[in-house]
Amino acid sequence: MDEQNNREQEAENQMPQKPKNLTLEDLKQGAQPPQQPARTPPALNEWWNQNSGLNLSTFGFADNFDASFPFTLPFYIDHNTRKIIEVGLTLYFQKFRGYTIPAAHTHSVTIGNHTHDVTLGNHTHSVTIGNHTHDVTVADHTHIVFEGTASTPTTPTTWTIGHFGTSGSNVTLGGTVLSSESSAAGGGQTVTSASGGGTTVSSSTASGATFGIYEDTFPADVHVLLNGVDITTNLGGVFNPIVGDNVFANLDLTGFFKKDDIGLQVLQFTTSSRGRCLPLLWVKSIITR
């Protein structure tokens, strides 16, 4: 019993004593007021627990894209970010999707009368004309030929050129037939020209559209750009989705970000053929209040 009492007394003696209230007389004799224990800041992990937290932000939506119009995914890293823990990306590709089919219809085009001005530079044309004949009809007539000289003509001799039928003519001199011809070989050139205008008129009709969900093709040769920089090679190469292999999950983008990479960021996806993309991006970070 005495031993137990001694232990309790010893523990009481070790407890901090309540400071004694000093009187004016004690202060005159030089007594000092008790010092208050210094306050120490909380431990670092406790401070973080009280003033920061783990943040997870996700970004993504679905849309069509093609060779002329890339898919653009903007996302934002909070300005209070103190550490980026992870940036990940999953790409889910689908076939291009439309929602209407136009009804059967025709188009109308009306072209009024008009002219075209064409200027041709100096040039030549080579034309080959095969052997052929010309039929010539000469009316019956005579030629009077004088013998002698022009100043002293003598008895004239009559040349007669007569036309017999439609196939030829004879030449006679003094009643004697000298020659008979029905055709002669030769060549020639034919030049033709034409001008005019025309109008094509048709009518246009349409009777509405058919609504539904209609798919086309998967995207091909997909590239990934982060803030304008192509990072496709770092992610394993271009993406060519097909049926049954159209999801590329958990692509790690963490290494592309530094501590001070905050604010607006932009991911873009390009393709050589039209398709549809549904990207899911997540940013895991520590932020402060």
pLDDT per residue over 176-210, tens digit each? 554 444 444 444 433 334 444 555 545 555 567 88
Q: Which of 95, 63, 68 lies closest to 218 in space, CA to CA?
A: 95
The DSSP call for residue 194 is -
- 171 has a pLDDT exceeding 60: no
* CA–CA gap between residue 133 and residue 185 (Å, rounded): 5
pLDDT band at 246 (very low <50, low <70, confident <90, very high): very high
Find out whether 261 and 77 touch, Cβ atoms under 8 Å.
yes
Tokens of residue 227, six digits: 């803030």
Residue type at 254 in one-letter notation? T
Listed by start position, the domains of the chain span 51-98+216-288, 137-177
pTM metric for this prediction: 0.51
Q: What is the pLDDT of residue 111?
A: 85
4-8, 117-121, 169-173, 219-223: the lowest-pLDDT one = 169-173
The rounded distance, in Å, linking the Cα atoms of 243 and 197 is 55
The CATH label, of 2.40.50, 2.60.120, 3.40.640, 2.30.30, for the domain at 51-98+216-288 is 2.60.120
- Give the bridge partners for 282, in sequence order: 58, 88
Confidence band for 270, pLDDT divided at 50, 70 and 90: very high
**What string of DSSP letters covers 47-114?**
HHHHHEEEEEEEE---EEE-SSS-EEEEEEE-TTEEEEEEEEEEEEEE--EEEEEEPS--------S-
Most confident by average pLDDT, 5-9, 38-42, 123-127, 228-232: 228-232
Separation between Cα atoms, residue 174 and residue 176, nearest integer Å = 6
